Amino acid sequence: MKTIIAMLVTLTIIGVVSGGGLAMISGWAAPLIAANKKAATERAIFLVQPEAKQYEAVAEVPYELYRVLDEGGQPTGYSFPWEGNGFQGNIRMMIGLTPDLATITAIEVLEQVETPGLGTMILEDPFRGQFNGLKTEPQVDWVKGAPPTKENEVQTITGATISSKAIVDIVNDGLARLRTDLAQGGDK
């Protein structure tokens, strides 16, 4: 019995000290971590909307969606994080759209676990740049092994066809969702 009490007491003391210490450090770190996260999101929002100066969250949809505004507070489009399956795992990206959703301003991949040097080429400009000004009607299409011929087409990366297609699929998937939700919400 005595040992059990000793055990409990020791563990409790260690636990309390540890918990207390952590609470203190967490108190210091939590705002910084939150700030880091916020900064990252903001950076991404503006990365896909080079013209924008401010942003506001859209509350009508049950997921993250940001309306971006110019200096005068006029809406210039949407920044829109969306995710889906890539080659190895989840890909999370930020999609920039014009207000009518018909054109992509730019895209940015936020999180991915594709093969370094291969699937990760989706992060780089030869591929990513194709989305600047890309038309989204009726949907984004991809071609393999040849330059695109239409305004809504991108060319896949050789050796990373699957990752490239994944990006296109995520964009289309997000767009479809957005179109129905915004049409209902009557955001314009």
What is the Cβ-side half-sphere exposure of residue 117, based on CA atoms within 13 angstroms? 0
Interaction of residue 123 with ligand FMN, rule CB under 6 A: no
- Candidates 77, 81, 86, 96; binder of another protein (CB under 8 A) is 86
Least Å distance, CB 159 to ligand FMN, is 4
- Candidates 118, 135, 148, 152; binder of ligand FMN (CB under 6 A) is 118
Interaction of residue 162 with another protein, rule CB under 8 A: yes
User: Which among another protein, ligand FMN, none contacts residue 12 (Cβ within 5 to 8 A by kind)?
Assistant: none
Specify the amino acid at residue 114: E
Backbone phi, psi, residue 3, to 5°: -65, -40
How many chain residues are in contact with ligand FMN, going by CB under 6 A?
11
Interaction of residue 42 with another protein, rule CB under 8 A: no
Backbone phi, psi, residue 106, to 5°: -170, 165
Site residues (vs another protein, CB under 8 A): 3, 6-7, 10-11, 14-15, 18-19, 21-23, 25-26, 28-30, 32-33, 36, 40, 85-90, 115-118, 144-145, 158-159, 161-162
Site residues (vs ligand FMN, CB under 6 A): 87, 114-115, 118-119, 158-163
